[in-house]
Amino acid sequence: MMNLWKTIALSVGLMTLSAPALAGDLGLDVTIVVVDQAGAPIPTAVIRHPAEADRHRVNTSNGEWTTDVLYLPDGSELIFEKGMDLTLEISAPGYVTQKISYQIRKRKNRATVQLEKMSVILEDDEMDDPVIQFGRDKPIDGAE
């Protein structure tokens, strides 16, 4: 009989201790997939909330990033809840940074973001080809 009471007390205690963890699980998972214009995942992409200091790398194999909470610089948590408008900045080297806004639903929170390639090349009109000077003034006496 004593053993039974001990078991019940232990179970209650464990449930009490795990309450915060259960509360954390209340956030809704949001998945962002970053792809290029051809639909291929961009392994070097990073995702960041504007209020956040850190950048989150996507999975290098499939370009996905999933979370249900964000930790802000002031120590607070941003738990994803249904109906919340989520703003994210997605960038990758060689691509134009994109800012998206996503409204969190009850389930199936999955968004695909397509990044546009950024081409930083020198145009023809921006280049002028200087002539190699001979490093002297032209002598007034002619070629000799």
Partner 1 sequence: MHKLTLVLAMLTGLAATSTAYAGWGDFEAAFPTLPCQDGWASCIQGGQVVSPELGRDRQGNPTPGDMRVAWFDLQATAAFSPFVDLSPYTGEARVAKAEPVPVAAPAAQPSRPAATSRPAADVTPPSRGTQLARAEEPVPNRGNSMVRPGSGTAEPVAAPHEGGMTRPGSSVRPSGAEAGTAEPAGVAAPPPVESTARTEAPVEAPAATGGMTRPGALTRPVAAEGTDAVAAVEAPAATPEPPAALISAVTPAAPVVVDDSCDNIVKLEPSAMMGKLSDGQTACLEASFAAAGKQTDKDRISRVLMTNAYSKGDQQEWAKLMKRHLEDVDQSDPDLCYKYALYLNKRGASRAYGVIKWSNVALENRTVWTGDTYTTRVYSLYKLRAAASQTLWQAAEEKNAVNPTDETKGQVSEARNQTKVYAREWYEYAKAAGKDTTKALQLCVSAAGTAEYCEGQ
Residues that bind partner 1 (CB under 8 A): 43-44, 46, 48, 50, 55, 60, 89, 91-97, 118, 120-122, 126-136, 139-140, 143-144
Cα distances from 26 to residues 78, 118, 128, in angstroms, run: 12, 39, 61
Instruction: Tell me whether residue 3 or residue 133 sits nearer to partner 1 (CB atom).
Output: 133
Collapsed DSSP state (helix, strand, coil) of residue 90: strand
> What does the block give as tokens for 101?
């806004």
| Shortest Å distance, C-beta 50 to partner 1 | 8
| Shortest Å distance, C-beta 96 to partner 1 | 5
Lay out the sheet containing 56-57: strands in order across: 56-57, 46-48, 85-91, 98-103
Instruction: Tell me whether residue 6 or residue 99 sits nearer to partner 1 (CB atom).
Output: 99
| Shortest Å distance, C-beta 56 to partner 1 | 12
